[in-house]
Structure 1
Amino acid sequence: MRNTWLIFFLAIISFLSGTDEYIVTGILDKIAETNGVSIASAGQLFTVFSISFGLLTPIVIVLTRKMDRKNLLMIALLIFSLSNFIVATFEGFVVIFIARIASGVSAGLIEVTLLTIATTIAEPEKRGSAIATIITGFSAALIVGVPMGRFLASVMDWRFIFVALSVLGTLFLILIYKLIPGMQGEEEKPLKEQLKILKNKKIAYILIVTFFWMFSYSIVLSYISPYLLQVVKVSSNTVSIALLIYGLSSLVGSKLGGFSTDKYGAIKTIFLGMSINAFGLISFSFVGESSLIFLIPLIIWGIAAWSSGPALQFRLIYLAPSVAGIILSLYTSISQIGMAFGAGIGGLIVNFGSLDLLNWVGASSVILIIFSLLIVNQKQKVESQNK
């Protein structure tokens, strides 16, 4: 029973690190205004977080593979707290930008270490459930953390949000010291060995799909607040409500994606989810200004976009069950890199184009996935007939 509560405690820490990543998307306009930069420039705070999370975390994990997991988690939480304190208190966009790099690395270390600790302290028959609990904590940040951050930023200075993240990070560091036993790190395969998995064409393909899926998702999500404010022209309070509704839709989509994967299979679930995803994104362009009708495509997009996650992960584990941990770490890295590229390209579109182009670029990425799925499926049918 004690270990069950410890795993829930670890999930709360996972929620905190997830909030640190996603919170920027809900208050982008306020950060830009305070620092005297464009919305596109402020959006790069999300981009750099995702890049450091996706690219640097696997490297740091390999370098620290022999370190006690408890000590590694405490160090990661210390970096997390310091970097968020810098974001909250230091002037200058460059300093905040650098602090977000540190935040991204610390969040990546926190997530990987939490998963390691959770599977270690959980009973053997409950390790899968322990992993799901930690991942749910991170995902819940989008559902609760982002709209809550938007609401708080509407009644107080947005910097107080990062002060709170810093304080909570320090509190959890102390609790980890008190509650979690020491856990010696294990020998892990070098990154070069891990990447040999990519020689499997089916695995490489699913990871490519993951990249373009998260690219599409991030290119819209990163600028969703200014999009709703400037294109749909709703009030700031309505944006807060819309983000909460979107978060709840994402949760429903994740659950439906898992159910559909079990019932109809991963490939069919991915194809259906991507098709509805594209429809939802395109539908944004047919919403009038200051109209609550925009909630319809928002909900459709939220449900469809998140339905693909369980199916993609299931497919990867199915293709490489003996190295599930490695393959899921690669999935996480590719997801973050896709999000980083999406936020980056979104910034260029906002700078040199227009906010109302974001959904079309996002939809184009998803449509590319749909066509690739049709081509791969047809190729597999031909190969099976030739056999």
Structure 2
Amino acid sequence: MNNTWKIYMLTLISFLVGTSQFVIVGILDKVADSVGVSVSVAGQLITVFALANAIGTPVFMMATSKMDRRNQLLLALVIILLGIVSTLALPGFDFLMVSRIVLGVGTGIFVVTAYATAANLALPGRQAGAMSNISLGFSSSLVLGVPIGRVVAAAFDWKVIFWGIGFFTLLGIFAIAKTIPYTKDEEPIPLGKQLALLKNPKVAFALGVTLFVFIAYSVVNTYITPFLTSAISISGRGVSVILFALGIASLFGSKLGGFLADRLGTAQTLIGSMLVQALSLALVSALSGSVVVVISLLMLWTIAAWAFGPTQNFNLLSVAPEASGIILSLNSTFVQLGFAAGAGIGGIAVDSLSILVICWIGAAAVMVALFVAVASLGLTRTYIKIK
């Protein structure tokens, strides 16, 4: 198997891993009924997953820094398989919470290592495109995995979904063991030096950009359904169609980010992505009376937001190439912190102000990220064009 097909294989496994994370959103009501809790309480399953991913990923990446990347991938899938088995075998909501924590850690390790492995397998000048394939796998789980999971849960018990994920995870373990070559990661870095990465201005600026961009994304995405139903009066079926369309836009954005970064450079792609996000969100609030315009702007925003992710990961590899695994895990942590902060800020804004304000807040957060990015260009050379 040549390296291109190995990258595609990692993309397929990324879809599987992403489905294990996102499918819970589409079946939350059924999960809540099966374990005897309210939907709001069951929502904690999403929270603990995010926190486990944010906190556990860098800790495990530090602990496994002596491993080669193939073994890190295998470890991640074994942890995910353990989480799936416990989801299926252990009764009650408390055990389900523990299972989501295990899945959060395993998913975080796989994401970070898959990005680094794809970049290593790619041809020179095509690393960003390879990393965008991994992002494509995860975004595909939103478009296909979640609705498929909903259909399966409606026809059968929701646990059938995890039986399927567990089976294919096992196949993924064998596939990686057979096809991914031994790839030595960077030399182990002492914990003190790993934490000192945060003192590096280049790293601090880059992670600050990540944090504010994903705060913006989470503020809007978390409350996108009530926004569509109340702000522009879309019906239930219409919401499903729009969400599917936004999912398709995320797929396009994932590939577009890698394509533009390889050809135009990371600086231009990142700055352009943030400009489009901020402008789109501002116009959504200003032009909320036109349904067609709002939907078009939301799709443009989604494309730009998903183009940012793989490009920023590739940028971080250039910021600290000697510690790629650690720096990508730190970025993953800031992504999850952005998700948590954005959801909280959006909830406060919706309760105290108006649903329309989420887009203004999102636009403001992206503008903060853009300011940090532009400032870093002159001060630290964080964003450089990859020759």
Same fold? TM cut 0.5: yes
Identity of aligned residues (%): 39
- Counterpart position of 1:37: 38
Q: Distance in 1 between matches of 2:219 and 2:327?
A: 25
- Counterpart position of 2:309: 309
- Counterpart position of 1:298: 298
Following superposition of structure 1 onto structure 2, how do residues 125-274 of structure 1 map, counting pairs within 5 Å?
Answer: 128=127, 131-150=131-150, 152=152, 158-176=158-176, 187-225=187-225, 227-228=227-228, 232=232, 234-261=234-261, 266-274=266-274
- Cα distance, 1:318 vs. partner? 4.3
Q: Distance in 1 between matches of 2:170 and 2:131?
A: 24
Structure 1 residues 314 and 66: alpha-carbon distance in aligned structure 2, compared to 1, 3 A threshold: closer
Q: Distance in 1 between matches of 2:208 and 2:326?
A: 16
Asked if structure 2 preserves the Cα contact closer than 8 Å seen for 1:150 and 1:240, the reply is no
Structure 1 residues 69 and 206: alpha-carbon distance in aligned structure 2, compared to 1, 3 A threshold: closer
- Cα distance, 1:213 vs. partner? 0.6
Structure 1 residues 96 and 132: alpha-carbon distance in aligned structure 2, compared to 1, 3 A threshold: same
Q: Distance in 2 between matches of 1:244 and 1:374?
A: 34
User: What residue identity is the alignment partner of 1:331?
Assistant: N
Q: Distance in 1 between matches of 2:115 and 2:101?
A: 22
Asked if structure 2 preserves the Cα contact closer than 8 Å seen for 1:58 and 1:191, the reply is no
Asked if structure 2 preserves the Cα contact closer than 8 Å seen for 1:10 and 1:114, the reply is yes
Q: Distance in 2 between matches of 1:370 and 1:72?
A: 34
- Cα distance, 1:329 vs. partner? 3.5
TM-score, normalising length: structure 2: 0.76
Structure 1 residues 307 and 245: alpha-carbon distance in aligned structure 2, compared to 1, 3 A threshold: same
Asked if structure 2 preserves the Cα contact closer than 8 Å seen for 1:46 and 1:340, the reply is no
Structure 1 residues 360 and 275: alpha-carbon distance in aligned structure 2, compared to 1, 3 A threshold: same
Q: Distance in 1 between matches of 2:184 and 2:311?
A: 33
Asked if structure 1 preserves the Cα contact closer than 8 Å seen for 2:125 and 2:262, the reply is no
- Counterpart position of 1:384: none
Query: CA deviation digits over 1:29-54, x for unaligned, max 9?
Result: 66567654355x54443332222222
Q: Distance in 1 between matches of 2:266 and 2:183?
A: 35
TM-score, normalising length: structure 1: 0.76
Structure 1 residues 235 and 89: alpha-carbon distance in aligned structure 2, compared to 1, 3 A threshold: farther
Q: Distance in 2 between matches of 1:137 and 1:346?
A: 27
Q: Distance in 1 between matches of 2:330 and 2:317?
A: 12
Structure 1 residues 322 and 294: alpha-carbon distance in aligned structure 2, compared to 1, 3 A threshold: same
Query: CA deviation digits over 1:309-357, x for unaligned, max 9?
Result: 3543454344445544543333233223322333344455567777555
Q: Distance in 2 between matches of 1:113 and 1:307?
A: 20
Structure 1 residues 310 and 164: alpha-carbon distance in aligned structure 2, compared to 1, 3 A threshold: closer
Query: CA deviation digits over 1:265-310, x for unaligned, max 9?
Result: 5445434432331333345545469x56652232022122123335
SS in 2 for 1:192: helix
Q: Distance in 1 between matches of 2:253 and 2:133?
A: 17
Asked if structure 2 preserves the Cα contact closer than 8 Å seen for 1:77 and 1:106, the reply is yes
Following superposition of structure 1 onto structure 2, how do residues 26-175 of structure 1 map, counting pairs within 5 Å?
Answer: 26-28=26-28, 36-39=37-40, 41-67=41-67, 73-87=73-87, 92-115=92-115, 122=121, 128=127, 131-150=131-150, 152=152, 158-175=158-175
Q: Distance in 1 between matches of 2:364 and 2:355?
A: 15
Structure 1 residues 2 and 205: alpha-carbon distance in aligned structure 2, compared to 1, 3 A threshold: closer
Query: CA deviation digits over 1:9-44, x for unaligned, max 9?
Result: 2322122112222334445566567654355x5444
- Cα distance, 1:103 vs. partner? 0.7
SS in 2 for 1:97: helix
Q: Distance in 2 between matches of 1:346 and 1:89?
A: 36
Aligned pair count? 377
- Cα distance, 1:193 vs. partner? 1.4
Q: Distance in 1 between matches of 2:294 and 2:374?
A: 30
User: What residue identity is the alignment partner of 1:316?
Assistant: L
Q: Distance in 1 between matches of 2:43 and 2:166?
A: 21
Structure 1, 7-16 or 72-81: larger mean CA deviation: 72-81
Asked if structure 2 preserves the Cα contact closer than 8 Å seen for 1:274 and 1:305, the reply is yes
Q: Distance in 2 between matches of 1:299 and 1:333?
A: 26
User: What residue identity is the alignment partner of 2:242?
Assistant: A
Asked if structure 2 preserves the Cα contact closer than 8 Å seen for 1:53 and 1:108, the reply is yes
Q: Flag structure 2 segments of 5+ consecutive residues without an equivalent.
A: 381-387
- Cα distance, 1:181 vs. partner? 6.8
Q: Distance in 2 between matches of 1:362 and 1:127?
A: 31
- Counterpart position of 2:385: none
Q: Flag structure 1 segments of 5+ consecutive residues without an equivalent.
A: 381-387
1:17 maps onto 2:20 in alignment: no
